[in-house]
Structure 1
């Protein structure tokens, strides 16, 4: 059957109308195109400075987040698996072969570890004290160096503010995928200043960060997904006093 120019025009017009209706109904961009930003939230079309601004704003407005990966600070590598929100956070930290848990509720920070951790922290001088602290949530005094050192790992706003900044001249580095989600990648100084993958689906949340100078790599998930932060029961808690054993 021969398709006349008039029929072809009608078909094109009909396809365009269907596409327009679909875009209007879903709020997505693009239709039937090879455009990598078709059907996305559109941030892939923005300048890298705008993408960074949008993703920082999205992260700041989210009620909660789950982050995991490594952070290198002061020459030490910490492996984190944390769930964070404004009122507090909880999760595990591993460094130099020693693992412990952190829990923060408001301003109160707790640290939970086994006897081996506390024995090492105390230099092996008081195994009795280490046994008493074994498996307990130990209250960390706010004036203790450990409080200043570890509370930042449980503070969503402070942690993200420090992490989600790339250094140097920003540029986009193509479209990628993280955990099945399409992303656009931005870099600082061609990657030496860090790289950040930003979601192209839904809100432009950051999904993966490689920090500048090889200072760790983090993945972000469960944006906006709330979780409970429970104060430990009295029999699970130990108040060590004014200062913990030096770590």
Structure 2
């Protein structure tokens, strides 16, 4: 008795794929991490929960830097990094209400100072504590290394799809340690990640699709020198 259409027809469920679904889970994981590390660029979007704070991110990243937006605490700011130079852009409300002592803040100031910063890129000094925290959203290699880690025993799950692309699922600790959907079409890039412990869900798209990075012009930027504006 035939137990399934594929068995009856003799069809290969991996026909037309890149074949990685036939590999063991550790080998699939190794290939997808290698593919991600070797890609020239990626578009990362979704949510990340870290140190009790939730961040909605929409970033385009490559080795030389990145650009995009981060939303946390109901406020959104733009980040742009070109090599070692990091820039932050936000509206006056953001600058007025930030608490410089908060773990996810950058600076706060009075209304007059905030108005000057409204819609302008502010160069973040490398010596400012905010530089390391904010630049972390723009460093492709380090960000991917941290996000693509599955905790616990890695196992192969079901075949599925992500935005119409066929995928195979990898799970850590039966899903408690995270779930990663790997492309079965073309290069085995990671396409969707559910982080362990409910720490966010991310879509990874536009692998290898280059984009232009350039520093803002003088009319678009405010340089505060040694530290970000505070009051």
TM-score by length of 2: 0.90
Name whichever of 121-130 and 137-146 sits farther off: 121-130
Deviation, structure 1 residue 215 = 0.5
For residue 199 of structure 2, what is the aligned residue in structure 1?
A: 215
The equivalent position to 2:83 in structure 1, one of 106, 109, 134, is: 106
Q: Deviations over 1:116-142 (max 9, x none)?
A: 000012676511111111100100011
Is the CA contact (8 Å cut-off) linking 2:48 and 2:54 kept in structure 1? Answer: yes
Say which structure is richer in helix: 1
Q: Secondary structure at the match of 2:43?
A: strand
Gaps in structure 1 of 5+ consecutive residues: 1-31
For residue 92 of structure 1, what is the aligned residue in structure 2?
A: 69
For residue 154 of structure 2, what is the aligned residue in structure 1?
A: 170
Deviation, structure 1 residue 173 = 1.1
* Structure 1 moving runs of 4+ over 3 Å: 122-125
Q: Deviations over 1:155-204 (max 9, x none)?
A: 11110011111000111111010000000000000000000000000000
Is the CA contact (8 Å cut-off) linking 2:42 and 2:205 kept in structure 1? Answer: yes
Q: CA RMSD in A?
A: 1.4
TM-score by length of 1: 0.84
For residue 48 of structure 2, what is the aligned residue in structure 1?
A: 71
**Is residue 110 of structure 2 the alignment partner of residue 126 of structure 1?**
yes
State the aligned residue count.
215
Is the CA contact (8 Å cut-off) linking 2:95 and 2:109 kept in structure 1? Answer: no
Gaps in structure 2 of 5+ consecutive residues: 1-8, 101-107
For residue 206 of structure 1, what is the aligned residue in structure 2?
A: 190
Deviation, structure 1 residue 241 = 2.7
For 2:203 and 2:10, the matched residues in 1 are separated by 30
